Chain A
């Protein structure tokens, strides 16, 4: 069941493609009676039928993160709600998760002095600029989330340097850096 209009894809980003599966509320408003009680100077509106994301539908870890970050914004010119998901922020969080995975499992005394760490930090905000690695990071996160246990309520990778999956992820990250810096 979909509500209102969905996101019209102009970007070809992979996270936007996930976002396109989500809907928005219909711009039908009623009085927000709780907030308006005895209020002077402002009249708050409430969406009559708020769109709700069914998180149970999203088993893929990346899709689930995008769905959890669902947000909509009312466009007064178009008179409808539009998706307002922060794809850049989500991407930065995914790369940052992999960065933390590296710092926990690199075996180095000062992993944040390494070339790989610095490269990873520089890639966090490159969702649109270095998009040729975008799919790689997202796929790598998917692989890591599926195979490496997470702590922190399922949001942070743990320390397990002997895990073959951890070693795979670190090796791939190193290769990506190497290719980018050639």
Chain B
């Protein structure tokens, strides 16, 4: 078994291998969320926030979040992922829907229905690497080693001009921009969302702490991009 083998890719069925479908826990989570949520008066009244007149509304985001929390997945779902999951749901009210808050009664029905059962690759591609970027954004670059930053810039490629000079902020912006470019254009052909999220995390760990296992993992991914194959997993160093 080689160091640069992609075990996950080898386990995939031939159709997925050919089409390079993106793997994501997000679709697994979406499948675990209910197909529809039916409300009674009490549950609706608990969801209505404070507001004025016609600005009172129910938020699918809060409701979806509560289900995600009940599944103990809240920690794994970032802001953008939460937003996208919420967009998979739509409220449906019967024509005779009426909610009497004072008496606590309801007529008709109100349902929150799942209208998107699976997120398509285009949508997943747009979210790829976002959680890693959130980790990346937390690093204080001015406290870090310039040489480590340059190593990362060299590894990402395409940042030769930005490597000149000592301005940390410019390098930060350049690396961030390059990462977004790598994911949006699918340059490295990473097809697993969780692996993509680790790229930003590994960059943050190496720049901040000099974490060598993070650097090794990043280097492995970069080497595997030369195989001209989609990347679903790597042998991670811990």
Whether A30 and B54, one on each chain, are in contact in the complex, defined by CB atoms closer than 8 angstroms, is no
**A27 and B101 contact, Cβ closer than 8 Å, known pairs A71-B52, A84-B52:** yes
Whether B50 and A75, one on each chain, are in contact in the complex, defined by CB atoms closer than 8 angstroms, is yes
Whether A28 and B99, one on each chain, are in contact in the complex, defined by CB atoms closer than 8 angstroms, is yes
Digitize B102-126: 1 where CB-to-A-CB distance is under 8 Å, 0 elsewhere.
Answer: 1010000010000100000000000
**A41 and B87 contact, Cβ closer than 8 Å, known pairs A48-B98, A73-B51:** yes
Tell me the chain A residues, 16-44 only, with Cβ under 8 Å from chain B: 25-32, 35-36, 39-44
A108 at interface by CB-CB < 8 Å: no
**A40 and B87 contact, Cβ closer than 8 Å, known pairs A45-B57, A48-B98, A72-B53:** yes
Whether A80 and B54, one on each chain, are in contact in the complex, defined by CB atoms closer than 8 angstroms, is no
User: Using a Cβ–Cβ cut-off of 8 Å, how many residues does chain B contribute to the interface with A?
Assistant: 30
A75 to B49, CA, bound (A): 8
Whether B102 and A30, one on each chain, are in contact in the complex, defined by CB atoms closer than 8 angstroms, is no
A47 at interface by CB-CB < 8 Å: yes
Contacting residues, chain A, for B90 (C-beta < 8 A): 39-41
A79 at interface by CB-CB < 8 Å: yes
Using CB atoms, name the residue of chain A closest to B51: A74
Whether A41 and B100, one on each chain, are in contact in the complex, defined by CB atoms closer than 8 angstroms, is no
A42 to B50, CA, bound (A): 15
B183 at interface by CB-CB < 8 Å: no
Contacting residues, chain B, for A30 (C-beta < 8 A): 97-99
A27 → chain B, closest Cβ, in Å?
Answer: 4
B18 at interface by CB-CB < 8 Å: no
Whether A29 and B53, one on each chain, are in contact in the complex, defined by CB atoms closer than 8 angstroms, is no
**A47 and B101 contact, Cβ closer than 8 Å, known pairs A41-B87, A76-B49:** no
Contacting residues, chain A, for B50 (C-beta < 8 A): 73-76
Which of B58-66, B153-161, B197-205, B229-237 lies at the interface with chain A?
A: B58-66
A30 to B89, CA, bound (A): 20
Tell me the chain B residues, 72-98 only, with Cβ under 8 Å from chain A: 86-87, 89-91, 93, 97-98
Contacting residues, chain A, for B61 (C-beta < 8 A): 41
B129 → chain A, closest Cβ, in Å?
Answer: 24
Using CB atoms, name the residue of chain A closest to B95: A31
Contacting residues, chain B, for A72 (C-beta < 8 A): 52-53
Contacting residues, chain B, for A45 (C-beta < 8 A): 48, 54, 56-58, 99
B127 at interface by CB-CB < 8 Å: no
Whether A79 and B102, one on each chain, are in contact in the complex, defined by CB atoms closer than 8 angstroms, is yes
Contacting residues, chain A, for B216 (C-beta < 8 A): none
Extra 7 A-B pairs, beta carbons < 8 Å, given A40-B89, A80-B102: A28-B99, A35-B54, A42-B58, A43-B93, A74-B56, A76-B48, A80-B101
Interface residues of chain B, those whose CB is within 8 Å of chain A, are 45, 48-61, 86-87, 89-91, 93, 97-102, 104, 110, 115
Name 28 interchain pairs, CB-CB below 8 A, sorted by A. Answer: A4-B102, A26-B102, A27-B100, A27-B102, A28-B100, A28-B102, A29-B99, A29-B100, A29-B101, A31-B93, A40-B87, A40-B90, A41-B59, A41-B60, A42-B57, A42-B91, A43-B57, A43-B93, A45-B48, A45-B54, A71-B52, A72-B52, A74-B50, A76-B48, A76-B50, A79-B104, A80-B101, A84-B52
The 4 A-B residue pairs whose C-beta atoms are closest, nearest first, are: A27-B101, A43-B91, A79-B101, A43-B58
Interface residues of chain A, those whose CB is within 8 Å of chain B, are 4, 25-32, 35-36, 39-48, 50, 71-76, 79-80, 84
